[in-house]
Structure 1
Amino acid sequence: MGHAMSKIIMCVDMDAFFASVEQQSNSRLRGQPIAVIGSGGRTVITTSSYEARQFGVKTGMNVYEAKKACPHLIFVVGDNTKYTHTCAELGKIYTRFTPHVEIYSVDEAFLDITGTYRLFGGVEAMGKTLKELIRKRFGINCTIGVGPNILIAKLASDLAKPDGFMWVTPDRVASLLEDLPVKKLWGIGRHTEKKLEAMGITTCGELGRAPVSILRRRFGFIGELLKAMGMGICERPLVIHEEEPKSIGHGMTLPRDIYEREQIEMYVLQLSEMVGRRARKHGYAGRKVSLTIRYTDFHTFTKQTTLPSCTNDTHVIYHSALSILDTIR
């Protein structure tokens, strides 16, 4: 009872997306421990298959560490064109279930199913149908989390991985968050976790009960946002589309801190392709490329560069973004 009064947001998160796509495009890799890497000689693991993860292979490891953990690990050079194409095809499937879709990143999307879930037999039935459709079409698995907002939907998908489904109804939010470590919340990184721990706050329940005045004193206006997150509150709407946009952009929150240049470049390439593809789709081009980086302490770096002529070419956007990245010390 009462669920219909709340928004129902679905987070669709592809499982080991890059590795899964590579395994499905090459039958010899299926069931094998593989790791997706960049094209450089000195490189790090971008993602690994679940077969590799059983041996302790993790994102961010260098090739030597990964091979030590799993001697028979197979390295595959990532193909971003393949991933972004699959992302676009997934978007077409999502819109069969609701017109309200936010493609958040190349392997993750949010769907507002508030007005359509009944057409598919309910939330659980809808989730099952979507998972089966993706598996049948692409041969890959996804995890689905459902909640009253994107924060809880994302949390549900994280907790249900891999190949799972979790629906957190509004009446279950408080009990779920009470003893949950704050680091499990989307957007709270290692540095913020340490700062909260120094204040005696380690669980979401404690964060939600913390006086907002103390949080504001430590984190500025972000303190209010953190308190709301601890209570399971998130008022951010889905970003569906912009009509006649003045700018086209994409962003993503990474699952963990990264420091290796090659790993950063791979994410920049993904975002550049998403921006370029969207611009080309709608017939737009631009001369200014802007790069924004938000650190774990919420400090934000933004800088832009102006091109000699308008473009919507992925590689031009990518190399322009890298030139901005080069200016960061």
Structure 2
Amino acid sequence: MFAVYASEPNPADPLAALVVGERPDPEVPAGWVAVRTTAASLNMHDLWTLRGVGLKPDQYPMILGGDAAGTLSDGTDVVVYPVIGDPTWSGDETLDPRRTLLTERYQGTFADTVIVPERNVIPLPPGVSPQAASVLGTAWLTAYRMLFTKSGLRPGQTMLVQGAAGGVSTALIQLGAAAGLQVWVTGRTAEKRALAERLGAHATFEAGARLPGKVDAVFESVGEATWAHTMRSVRPGGAVICCGATSGAAPSADLQRLFFLQIRVEGSTMGTRQELVDLLAFVDRAGISPEIGLELPMDKAPEGFRAMNEGDVAGKIVFTR
């Protein structure tokens, strides 16, 4: 079958390990289903796989892609939940110590067909397109959990998103605005700040700028480059919700400010299956159109990988079949 895959780990030149070609058709174990891919979205995790992060050399070739929408053999339209857990685990899947993601142990979604456990497919609401649904399983699910499960924010309160253009950031902006929150955003360029405003941000600021007031919660995915500003920006008793550190770990946690102002700092990773179900329903009912910065046929996937690697695209990159 057609697939986009990593042939080997290549830390120095990850795109050199990217192959568009043929892979064997997958077998479908008992309790699993085959999903015919309609649309799939690119994540930074796919670049890490090309670099060899989190995989052993003998796990290659590895078909890339963790997110997808597609159809089952009976024609049912579905969305793939990318977290595959231990079948004996009950409760929050993100806390399962044996959990894995597609492309870590199992082949991914950038192919004609992906196989996943039956519980990892969710019916696609009729009001959500396959392209929109294909971006929800990682970046949007991460944003949904940060905002609605972790932050404790209520409509009318003020949130700050550090960084304006990434998949999680654009999702936070759109979800926060739809939920009735006051959305402030920082961005390094005028173009990225303009994008944030188009997506619903109520105010935008240059990176590191002094804000007109303190915010109830800050949403962090940048780390070292923004952490000091984050800690200065949150109100006493407010929250910082962190899902990553793309610029590196913060050199100082600013513990004196943390304990004296009783700031709550909480980590957040991906989301549960039920949170993805709820996210799909919210996107459908609120009429949200996730920001897709680039859409390409899957055989043009290298163009999308180059754009992500160079930081040229705002919003999500989607491949279609």
For the aligned pair, the TM-score class normalised by the smaller chain equals under 0.3
Q: Which has the higher strand share?
A: 2
Q: Which has the higher helix share?
A: 1
Larger RCO of the pair (alpha carbons < 8 Å, separation 6+): 2
After TM superposition, the score normalised by the length of structure 1 is 0.23
